């Protein structure tokens, strides 16, 4: 094998290997010579005639036996070394050499294993492999068929992460019960991320699209490298000391496990858990889950998703306000209609109606009396007189009582209307004020201007050039301006 000294067999060669059936043991020439003839033996007699030799093995048979022996003895072997001569074939299989100071080992990793690796090793990377020794018969060489490949020390890092997660869970920092609800309509949002990464641009773009007019406080920090954890902690503490942000988004865009490692640090996780302001963690892509995600109040799949979770869309807010206003108007209308029906149900006859009904009844009685004889008239009159008197007394007592009842109900209705209508009007006024506060034109009324490049809003000075024509949108009109020079942010 390449790189091995013939005077010192490899460590595995000291194992007791099973005997190979049919393999003859060669004798020294001296022994062959001494056994070729015996004193007094027939010169024509040879050792072969006395003891037949075993048939020699073919190269293929010997190689097959060696392959079986090595395969049985070195299955699932674990080995570490440095990657060298890495080649990725068109078939997707990987061919490389694993080397150390004293030896080299040819390795093969088939496409199915390589597709699950999740990272791209390069020549010079120190790795740990698990695989099976196999003999490639056409060349008479042996290879390691790789079943697992990982960076050297990755197992230790994984164990440290799991220990950190268990420690944080034991302290209750990952308990869903301690996570705070996000504010429904934040007006000021803090962002802790890199000033040069795509995450900041994505967050600003989504916030501008969903709810213009928000205030964004940016705390720049490193998100990659050895200094990143301390930088992220400083940014979170700065936002907490500032105190204006109602919500914090902390994170970065996607990358390798090394790129995202800062968000697996204990200091970052504890800073997020200790933040007095609700925090959204947005680290990497959807498949990446960091320790920071576990302790944050809410995890977002990406920075853009974090911005979507932070604020509702302006159109959704307007639709909600419209539905609330319509429901309020409908409830008030139904309540008034119900009370009107109740008042109408209490019908009190007027005195004229009572008298008219009495006259009608008397007329009917008079008609009936007309059919009686003249002698019966005085008798009937005497009989009806008490009834007429009782009817008159009843009318005199009933009408004032019913009139008083009507007045009581009318007064109660007016009081109830006076109690309900101001509150409903105040609620409508508050909803209208909130809707008006969301209008971008209110910002223009306070002296601000909107810078437009065609039909696009200009958010940054970066990318502008002297002489470039822009449009300023004011509260009462538009101005066509031209860039004379780019100045630094401090106005110098």
- What tens digit of pLDDT does each residue of 15-30 get? 333 333 333 333 334 4
Instruction: Give the tokens for residue 429.
Output: 């006024």
| Helix runs in 438-483, H state only | 440-445
Query: Kind and range of the H or E element at 77?
Result: strand 77-88
Instruction: Give the tokens for residue 203.
Output: 């967050």
Average pLDDT on 169-176 reads: 92
The 8-class DSSP code of residue 40 comes to T
Pick from 432, 216, 206: nearest CA to 318: 432
Instruction: Give the tokens for residue 400.
Output: 């004032």
pLDDT at 130 over 50: yes
- Exposed/middle/buried for residue 425 (C-beta within 10 Å: 0-12, 13-18, 19+): exposed
With tokens 């996000």, the residue in question is 182
- What are 424-447's pLDDT values in tens digits? 888 888 888 778 777 777 778 778
Taking the alpha carbons at both ends of the chain, their separation in whole angstroms is 71
Within 10 Å of residue 319's Cβ, how many Cβ atoms?
Answer: 11
Task: Please answer whether residues 130 and 148 qualify as being in contact, where contact means their C-beta atoms are separated by less than 8 angstroms.
Answer: yes
What dihedral do alpha carbons 98, 104, 105, 106 form, nearest 10°? 80
pLDDT at 10 over 80: no
428 φ, ψ (degrees, to nearest 5): -60, -40
| Degrees, nearest 5: CA angle 462-467-471 | 75
Pick from 280, 295, 300: nearest CA to 172: 295
pLDDT at 125 over 90: no
- Exposed/middle/buried for residue 323 (C-beta within 10 Å: 0-12, 13-18, 19+): exposed
Q: Residues for the chain: how many in total?
A: 492
The SS3 call for residue 277 is coil
Sorting pLDDT into bands at 50, 70 and 90, what band is 62? confident
Task: Please answer whether residues 200 and 194 qualify as being in contact, where contact means their C-beta atoms are separated by less than 8 angstroms.
Answer: yes
Q: Which residues of 131-167 are buried (b: 16+ CB within 10 A; e: fewer)?
A: bbbbbeeeeeebbbbbeebbeeeeeeeeeeeeebbee
Instruction: Give the tokens for residue 357.
Output: 């009904």
Question: Which pLDDT score is estimated for 186?
Answer: 92
pLDDT at 361 over 50: yes
Is the backbone of residue 464 left (phi > 0), alpha (psi -120 to 50) or beta?
Answer: beta
pLDDT at 53 over 60: yes
Ranges of each domain in the chain: 11-152, 185-312, 339-437, 444-482
The 8-class DSSP code of residue 467 comes to T
Question: Which pLDDT score is estimated for 27?
Answer: 36
Q: How far apart are CA 16 and CA 22, in angstroms?
A: 18
Query: Kind and range of the H or E element at 356?
Result: helix 351-370
Minimum mean pLDDT range among 2-16, 60-74, 357-371: 2-16
Q: Which of 152-156, 319-323, 459-463 has maximum average pLDDT?
A: 459-463
Task: Please answer whether residues 118 and 258 qualify as being in contact, where contact means their C-beta atoms are separated by less than 8 angstroms.
Answer: no
Question: Which pLDDT score is estimated for 201?
Answer: 93
Sorting pLDDT into bands at 50, 70 and 90, what band is 272? very high
CATH fold of the domain at 11-152:
OB fold (Dihydrolipoamide Acetyltransferase, E2P) (2.40.50)
The SS3 call for residue 280 is strand
Q: What percent helix, strand, coil does the chain show, rounded to 5?
A: 45, 20, 35
With tokens 């440095």, the residue in question is 82
Task: Please answer whether residues 168 and 160 qualify as being in contact, where contact means their C-beta atoms are separated by less than 8 angstroms.
Answer: no
Residue 298 pairs with which residues in a beta bridge? 280
pTM: 0.43
Tell which CATH architecture fits domain 185-312: 3-Layer(aba) Sandwich (3.40)
Higher pLDDT, 370 or 410: 410
With tokens 């988004």, the residue in question is 249
Sorting pLDDT into bands at 50, 70 and 90, what band is 280? very high
Sorting pLDDT into bands at 50, 70 and 90, what band is 465? confident
How many CA atoms does the CB half-sphere of 144 hold within 13 Å?
Answer: 23
Instruction: Give the tokens for residue 386.
Output: 């008490």
Question: Which pLDDT score is estimated for 39?
Answer: 47
Instruction: Give the tokens for residue 276.
Output: 């007095």
What secondary structure does DSSP assign to 146-215, as a single string? EEEEEETTHHHHHHHHHHHHHHHHHTTTT-GGGPPPPPSS-SEEEEEE-SSSHHHHHHHHHHHHHSTT-E
């Amino acid at each position: 094998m390449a790189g091995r000294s013939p005077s010192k067999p490899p460590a595995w060669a000291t194992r007791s290997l099973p005997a190979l059936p049919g393999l003859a043991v060669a004798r020294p020439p001296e022994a062959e010579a001494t056994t070729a003839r015996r004193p007094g033996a027939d010169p024509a007699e040879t050792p072969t005639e006395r003891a037949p030799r075993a048939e020699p093995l073919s190269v293929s048979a010997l190689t097959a036996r060696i392959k079986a022996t090595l395969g049985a003895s070195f299955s699932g072997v674990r080995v570490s070394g440095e990657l060298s001569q890495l080649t990725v074939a068109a078939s997707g299989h990987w061919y490389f050499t694993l080397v150390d100071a004293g030896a080299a080992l040819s390795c093969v990793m088939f496409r199915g294993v390589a597709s699950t690796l999740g990272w791209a090793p390069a020549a010079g990377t120190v790795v740990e492999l698990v695989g099976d020794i196999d003999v490639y018969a056409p060349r008479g060489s042996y290879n390691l068929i790789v079943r697992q490949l990982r960076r050297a020390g990755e197992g230790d890092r994984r164990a440290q992460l799991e220990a950190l997660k268990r420690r944080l869970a034991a302290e209750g920092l990952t308990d869903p019960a301690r996570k705070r609800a996000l504010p429904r309509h934040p007006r000021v949002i803090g962002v802790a991320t890199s000033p040069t990464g795509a995450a900041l641009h994505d967050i600003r773009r989504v916030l501008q699209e969903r709810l213009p007019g928000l205030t964004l406080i940016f705390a720049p920090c490193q998100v990659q490298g050895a200094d990143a954890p301390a930088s992220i902690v400083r940014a979170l503490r700065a936002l907490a000391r500032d105190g204006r942000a109602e919500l914090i988004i902390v994170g970065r865009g996607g990358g390798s496990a090394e790129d995202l490692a800062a968000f697996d640090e204990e200091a970052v996780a504890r800073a997020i858990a200790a933040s007095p302001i609700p925090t959204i963690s947005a680290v990497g892509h959807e498949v990446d889950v960091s320790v920071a995600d576990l302790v944050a109040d809410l995890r977002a799949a990406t920075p853009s998703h974090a911005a979507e979770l932070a604020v509702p869309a302006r159109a959704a807010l307007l639709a909600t306000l419209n539905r609330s206003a319509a429901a309020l108007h409908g409830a008030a209308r139904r309540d008034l209609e119900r009370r009107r029906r109740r008042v109408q149900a209490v019908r009190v006859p007027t005195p004229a109606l009572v008298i008219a009904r009495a006259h009608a009844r008397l007329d009917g009685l008079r008609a009936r009396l007309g059919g009686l004889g003249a002698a019966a008239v005085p008798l009937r009159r005497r009989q009806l007189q008490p009834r007429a008197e009782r009817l008159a007394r009843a009318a005199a007592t009933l009408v004032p009582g019913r009139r008083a009842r009507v007045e009581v109900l009318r007064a109660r209705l007016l009081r109830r209307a006076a109690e309900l209508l101001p509150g409903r009007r105040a609620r409508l006024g508050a909803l209208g004020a909130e809707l008006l506060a969301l209008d971008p034109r209110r910002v223009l009324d306070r002296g601000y201007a909107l810078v437009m490049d065609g039909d696009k809003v200009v958010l940054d000075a970066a990318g502008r050039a002297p002489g470039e024509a822009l449009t300023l949108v004011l509260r009462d009109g538009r101005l066509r301006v031209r860039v004379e020079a780019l100045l630094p942010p401090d106005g110098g």
